[in-house]
Chain A
Amino acid sequence: MGLRYGTGAEVLAGLDLRLASGGFYFLTGPSGAGKTSLLKLLYLAQRPTRGRLRLFGEDVGEAPREALPAFRRRIGVVFQDFRLVRHLSAFDNVALPLRIAGYDDREIEGPVREMLAWVGLADRASARPPTLSGGEQQRVAIARAVIARPELLVADEPTGNVDAAMADRLIHLFEALNRLGTTVVVATHDLSLIGAVKGARMMRLENGQLSDPTGELRNPPTRMPEESQP
């Protein structure tokens, strides 16, 4: 795949990768290497300008616009800048994916409270984002990304604003999701996180090109059958 914005140079060039369904991946690389652009392709905010993008076994690069929301509902995203809805409470922000998916208030109440408790924000459910600290906002963003138990979780620097203990806890949340079958892709500068997840693979992006310091990307794990690729 390749990706360029407008008529500029390609920010991602000759990218060729497969992610195993149920895998846990860390994406590293210097600032401006194209990590966020690669994540945008994964969470369908961009289409590749060349090449083919297949998600959940389907060619989404060519899929019609109307088909994309259904794919997006299978993906959880933690944005670097959180992208919380400022006028909604933490509860309502976390509940967004469920509301969009058509669940009613009674069905939403329990899971959202539980998720807020899990990220340590049970007592901040009615607080609005501007009144939350950076770390709290990040935890709300993570809770929102995982509440609908996505098949693919994409996180851009998810632990950038939390302390080490919370970072550890969040990574364990991602691991728990991963154990339930969610494919996780985490872009991070924090190399200590990489060692914290057993079996995780690392991808390194540099100047829009992918390298694989662990040497594992070109030798996919044995449990990655062709038809179950996300």
Chain B
Amino acid sequence: MKAALLPPASMRRLLPEQKRRAAPWIVGLMTFVSLVVGVAGLAVLGAVTDLSSSAAGRWSLQVTGTPADAARAEALLRSTPGVTSVDRVPDQELRKTLRAWLGPASEQLDLPLPVLADVKVTGGGQSAASRLAREVPNARLTPYSSELAPLLDTLRGLAVLVAGLLIVLAAALAGAVTLAARATLDTNRSTLDVLHGIGATDEQLLSLVQRRIALDVLAGSAAGALAAAVVLIAALIPARGLLGGAAGAPALAAGGLALLALLPLLQAVLATLVARRALQQALAQGL
């Protein structure tokens, strides 16, 4: 493979230099789009992870009855094994939230506010919820995860969509590189025919064309990656929400970013292998 990619200089100049080539541009655009889509996918996956971990073991207590019901519910939960904390949400905070939703008029409406508490449970809270439902009918204990389920499902669906898009982009890149390889072959057909006629092997001819395509792909990938990095940094710095997850953890995991950094290289390798295969098939059609 090394010999195939690095033919000696005297062999390299057997193919003429072509100044206007489409392959680097196509590969550059594909790389740019792949990276932007990949970062979006990582952000979505990060959000799913953050939301799932922040919801794990957390339940919401809602009491619509009397303050005595609320006190009973809280006392019952505190005495339940596995419940580590019961933190009531202050009335002031509930009213602030209500004002945010309904505007200043909410203060004049004198709406009845339920008692809300944040409950942390280890080892599952289903038994606590059942016991609460039996003993305090006006109280309800629901897991955060069930409230977040529709959002998490949507986000997971988006992540799958992003993965699908990346596969489609890889397939499009493979198609574009195949066409570029055949175009290079056609452009240099007369030279390659002469070399073939005087005893050049398929491997020698492949090394000439393949090296050129590999360099085009590497150049396009590097340019696309650079452009994507500039755009993403410019877009992500103001929108810190993409950088910071729901629980304050980084939404874009370091492993994912490393994988994205490798994407241009992976694309170059994929494109080179695809081009090599296309060239082999094209050469095999002749004698």
Contacts and interface: CB of A to CB of B under 8 A. Distances in A.
Interface of A: 43-47, 65-66, 68-70, 72-73, 75, 77, 83-88, 92, 96-97, 99-101, 104-105, 144
A68 B199 CA distance: 8
B204 A100 contact: yes
B202 A83 contact: no
A85 B198 CA distance: 12
Contacts of A86: 16
Contacts of A105: 10
Given A85-B14, A100-B204, A44 B198 contact: no
Given A66-B202, A105-B10, A96 B194 contact: yes
B14 A73 contact: no
Given A99-B14, A100-B200, 19 more contacts: A43-B197, A45-B197, A46-B287, A47-B287, A65-B287, A73-B198, A75-B199, A77-B197, A83-B197, A84-B194, A86-B16, A88-B14, A96-B195, A97-B199, A99-B10, A100-B198, A100-B199, A100-B204, A104-B10
B11 interface: yes
B97 interface: no
Interface in B186-225: 190-191, 193-202, 204
Contacts of B202: 65-66
A160 B112 CA distance: 108
Given A73-B199, A85-B14, A100-B199, A68 B287 contact: yes
A100 B198 CA distance: 8
A68 B201 CA distance: 9
12 contacts: A66-B202, A68-B287, A69-B200, A72-B197, A75-B199, A83-B197, A85-B14, A85-B194, A86-B16, A87-B191, A100-B195, A104-B8
Given A85-B191, A96-B195, A99-B11, A69 B201 contact: yes
Contacts of A70: 199
B10 to A, nearest CB: 6
B284 interface: yes
A69 B197 CA distance: 8
A88 B16 CA distance: 8
A110 B8 CA distance: 19
Contacts of B194: 83-85, 96
Given A85-B191, A85-B194, A100-B195, A44 B10 contact: no
A69 B14 CA distance: 18
Given A45-B287, A100-B204, A72 B10 contact: no
Contacts of B195: 96, 100
Contacts of A85: 14, 190-191, 194
Interface in B1-32: 8, 10-11, 13-14, 16
B184 to A, nearest CB: 15
A70 B16 CA distance: 25
A187 B198 CA distance: 19
Nearest to A76: B198
Contacts of B197: 43, 45, 72, 77, 83
